[in-house]
Amino acid sequence: MSDERIPLLRNIKPKSYTMKQFAMLFIAWQLLSSHAGYAQPVIREFNVLMPDGVRLYTRAGLPEGEGPFPVVLLRTPYNINQHQYDLEYFTARGYAFVMQDVRGKYMSDGSFTPFINERADGLEMVDWIERQEWFGGELFLYGSSYQAYSSMVMADSERESIRGIFNNSGWIDNNQIIHFNGISHIMLNIPWLYMFDATREMRRPSMPFTAMLNHLPVADSMRELGVDGSLWDMGDGLFRLDQTFEYDKWQAPVFHLTGWMDFTHPGTLKIFEKLHALNVPQHLVVGPWQHDQVFTRGAKVGDYDAGEVAVFGRDSVLSLASGWFDRIRSGEPIMPEIRLFNMFGDKWVRLCPGKSILPRPESFHAYLGMGGALTDEPEMQGAGHSLHSDPMDPVPTIGGANVHFIHEFLGIRNHLPKAERADVLGFYSRPAPGEISFTGRPETILYVESDAPDFDLVVQLVKTDSLGQYVYNITENAFRLSYLLEYGQEKIRKSGNAGYEVRLDLGWTSFSLAEGERLGLLISGSNFPKLERNLHTPDENHAASTGEAATIRILTGGNTSSAFRFNSFTVLP
């Protein structure tokens, strides 16, 4: 597909496209991707030999013609047969498409341990492709989720043949995905490992996912389910599961596609920020979507439907990817481009090029005050707010950027039942005098203390109406005290005799308030079953079988005035 059909991928000058025009492009992409009349590709099958003798099943689709061809590589643990459509799409556009079952999966030999072998096996595949007579010297890496991870862990290899990457819902640093500042993301970790770890094909669950998550101790969860998973047995070692990746060696231009309600989007944005500082050519699109948008055409996430302006699906993803690769092959310069969907405003916003992800001076600063108010000034002598946290009666997960295979917890949902709980603190701004749009990076500065040896805090940014009929989630983060003290010293410092100051980044976001709506924070000691419960005992939490209630205090007033800041990005008109 020519670059002319993908205006997003051109060097867009300021004001060259209105937001309405951009929204219409999303619909047009669907119409530009019909597969009618595709020529059948030439299919070749291989068992590619790895240095240790393991053979990986590989299928290559070659376009019509003599070649050689530019090549797109996809490596997956989810069965290459899901991607025959992708193969036909790319070969119809002149690309050879090579797809491979990763080690230990489906038709490949060996045993599968998540993440561990993807860089080494992937680079062997690059070597193998470079030796093929039909390889034209240009290799492009493509995939979503784990497939994107498998691609990007090779990006610091300085291979000249790797010309570009399309990252759909991918990450490199597993710590951005598997835990929240030390709190295990069990609603992802346990079901995903159950389905895919230590098995050649996907293991079908024999019980509801929610039942899997209740077991204590958490360390025995996989064995209780009858799974001998080596990765899960690492326990807290999962938090240190990260490969030494050298971002300063990344050369290939990369297109990032993710969604606000996609649980992987913090990992995608971390890559974007790292490469932005290094001036690597990048485009970024963040929609309202859930995880793995390549298989989800709609724009409804939970109770929120973003409408036709955000409808996006497989053909849209493939259109963007092929257009991105065409753009790179054309040799024209690639300027930074950032498009974010504004939730509740139902519109797309564009950040300015250059250093656009550096926030302006904060546009909103408020203090946590008496009566659940976000106030302009700190209290002189604040009494603080006490929070009861009982791991045997945890605060329930209602919505959020959560896993797509437990749909009832996914997306933007009414958190009013949570906001009304006695063990949840709520703080709210004054009503908006008119529509207000926010695009930026919120954070909290919390002064906290507790009678427990360890505790968690969960902070959600929400919006609510003046009548108290709904409380909708926007973004969130959480932390475990013991983890920050050991691994996150840049986020925490001692404050007074018993307390701590904790800076909690709530990540990128873009949303709008309507007239009369209020911005709010919900603060609690748990978010279960999304996150592992803190049992508030001196024992190793992962191995503990029972828990105790704790009191957590959020301090306000004087030199310990807990606060909320919204650091705005510069949005182009």
Is the confidence at residue 296, as pLDDT, over 80? no
pLDDT average, residue stretch 529-547: 93
Is residue 294 very low, low, confident or very high in pLDDT (cuts 50, 70, 90)?
Answer: confident
How far is the C-alpha of 311 from the C-alpha of 32, rounded, in Å?
14
Is residue 13 very low, low, confident or very high in pLDDT (cuts 50, 70, 90)?
Answer: very low
How far is the C-alpha of 23 from the C-alpha of 347, rounded, in Å?
7
For residue range 71-110, list pLDDT tens digits in order.
999 999 999 999 999 999 999 999 999 999 999 999 999 9
Q: In this structure, how many other beta carbons lie within 10 angstroms of the beta carbon of residue 392?
A: 11
Beta carbons of 338 and 572 less than 8 angstroms apart: no
pLDDT score for 358:
60
Query: What angle in degrees, to the nearest 10, is found between the helix axes of 314-330 and 19-31?
Result: 100
Say how many residues make up the chain: 573
For residue range 226-249, list pLDDT tens digits in order.
887 667 776 655 556 656 899 999
Q: State the alpha helices, DSSP H only, in 13-66.
A: 19-31
Q: In this structure, how many other beta carbons lie within 10 angstroms of the beta carbon of residue 45?
A: 9
How far is the C-alpha of 115 from the C-alpha of 234, rounded, in Å?
14
Question: What is the chain's mean pLDDT, rounded?
Answer: 88
pLDDT score for 334:
92
For residue range 347-397, list pLDDT tens digits in order.
999 997 665 556 566 678 999 998 899 999 998 877 789 999 999 999 999
Return the C-alpha torsion angle 406, 409, 410, 413, nearest 10: 160
pLDDT average, residue stretch 26-55: 71
pLDDT average, residue stretch 155-180: 94
pLDDT score for 525:
98
pLDDT average, residue stretch 295-313: 90
pLDDT score for 234:
67
Which residues make Cβ contacts (< 8 Å) with residue 570, sequence separation at least 6? 351, 352, 356, 360
Is residue 206 very low, low, confident or very high in pLDDT (cuts 50, 70, 90)?
Answer: confident
Is residue 344 very low, low, confident or very high in pLDDT (cuts 50, 70, 90)?
Answer: very high
Is the confidence at residue 58, as pLDDT, over 60? yes
For residue range 491-509, list pLDDT tens digits in order.
999 987 668 999 999 999 9
Per-residue burial over 152-180, b = 16 or more CB atoms within 10 Å of its CB, e = otherwise: bbbbbbebebbbbbbbbbbbbbbbbbbbb
pLDDT score for 222:
84
Q: Please list the residues that pair with 519 across neighbouring strands.
A: 463
Of 419 and 371, more confident: 419
Q: In this structure, how many other beta carbons lie within 10 angstroms of the beta carbon of residue 228?
A: 10
How far is the C-alpha of 305 from the C-alpha of 286, rounded, in Å?
16
Residue 382, CA distances (Å) to 428, 492, 507, 558, 563 in order: 17, 21, 28, 7, 13
pLDDT average, residue stretch 283-289: 96
- Which of 8-22, 140-154, 190-204 bottoms out in mean pLDDT, i.e. has the lowest? 8-22
For residue range 513-523, list pLDDT tens digits in order.
999 999 999 99
pLDDT score for 550:
97
For residue range 127-143, list pLDDT tens digits in order.
999 999 999 999 999 99
Beta carbons of 398 and 406 less than 8 angstroms apart: no
* H/E element, 315: helix 314-330
How far is the C-alpha of 459 from the C-alpha of 395, rounded, in Å?
12
| End-to-end Cα distance, the chain | 29
Is the confidence at residue 34, as pLDDT, over 90? no
Is residue 175 very low, low, confident or very high in pLDDT (cuts 50, 70, 90)?
Answer: confident
Is the confidence at residue 428, as pLDDT, over 50? yes
Is residue 14 very low, low, confident or very high in pLDDT (cuts 50, 70, 90)?
Answer: very low
